[in-house]
Amino acid sequence: MPRDPQRFVPLRPVEFLVLVSLAEGDLHGYGLTQAIDERSEGAVRLEPGNLYKVLKRLVADGLIESAGHRPAADLENERRHYYRLTRLGERVVALEARRIAALVASPAVRSLVKRFAPAT
């Protein structure tokens, strides 16, 4: 069932963070929250309810899927539920990444960043 990835962009920031984190490899819930925490420099912190609301939506949209339960090396080998990107998910996250990159590269945004958030 091929679906048009364009339909899904722009993504919500949280969804983008989840997809980007999964693009580097399958992750369980805890791993995802860790990855998002790092990637957003602590700005986005997901509690279980909130995270699974996002995952539920992404699963329903067909952007991610379950990768089954398996022992987690980082969690004393307890079995955890892993998630991974679908093909559609990969294309959507790539599309969104390109959109954001283009946005960030635009002169208007660059001058804004220079004026209001100068690099330290």
Partner 1 sequence: MTHRRRSWSERAYTALLRLLPDEIRRDFGGDMRELFTDHLRTERRRAGIGGVLRLWLRTIPDLVYTAFHERERDMLTAISQDARYAGRILRKHPVFTVVAILVVALGVGAVSTIVSVANSVVLRPVPGLARPDELVVIERMNSENTGTTSVSYPYYQHLAHESRRMRGIAAWDVLTLTISTGGEGLLTQANLVTGNYFGVLGTRPALGRFFTADEDDAANPKPVVVISHGLWERRFGGDSAIVGHTVLVNKLPFTVIGVAPTGFSGLYPILRVDAWVPMAMQPTVRRGGDLLTSVGSGWLELFGRLAPGVSHDAAQTELAGLTERFAATTEQSVHGGAAGFAGFAGIRLTTPSALPGNATRSALTFFAILMVLAGLVLAIASVNVASMLLARATMRRREIAIRIALGAARARLVRQLLTESVILFAAGGAGGALLAVYATRLLSRMQLPVDVQLNVDVSPDARVLAVTIAVALITGLVFGLAPALDGSRADVALVMRGDSAGSGRARSRLRSVLVAGQAAASLLLLITSGLFVRALAKGHRIDPGYDVHHVATAALDVSLSGYDSTRARALYAALHDRLRVLDKVTAVAYARVLPLTGTTTGFGINVPGYTPTPREKARGLSAHTNVVSAEFFDALRLPIIAGRKLLPSDRAGAPRVAVVSELFAGKFWPGQNPLGRTFTLGDTNPITVVGVARNVKFADLTETPAPSMYLPLAQEWTSGVTLLVRTSGDPNALAAPIRDAVHSLDATLPPPAVVSFEDATAVSLLPQRFAVIVTATLGALGLLLASIGLYGVVSFTTAQRTREIGVRMALGATAADVVRLVVRGGMSVVVIGIVIGLAAGAIATQILRPLLFGIDPLDGATFVAMPLLLALAALVASVLPARRAANADPMMALRED
Binding site for partner 1 (CB under 8 A): 28-30, 33, 45, 47-53, 55-56, 75, 78-81
List of residues 6+ apart from 83 with CB closer than 8 A: 22, 26, 27, 28, 32, 55, 64, 65, 66, 67
Q: How far is the CB of 23 from partner 1 (least distance, A)?
A: 20
Minimum separation from the CB atom of position 42 to partner 1 (A): 14
Nearer to partner 1, 86 or 99 (CB): 86
Report the DSSP beta bridge partners of residue 84: 65
Q: Quick one: 55 or 88, whose CB is closer to partner 1?
A: 55
User: Measured from the CB of residue 96, what is the shortest distance to partner 1 in angstroms?
Assistant: 24
* Closer Cβ to partner 1, 79 or 98, answer by number: 79
Q: Which residues contact 96 (CB under 8 A, 6 or more apart)?
A: 8, 9, 10, 11, 16, 19
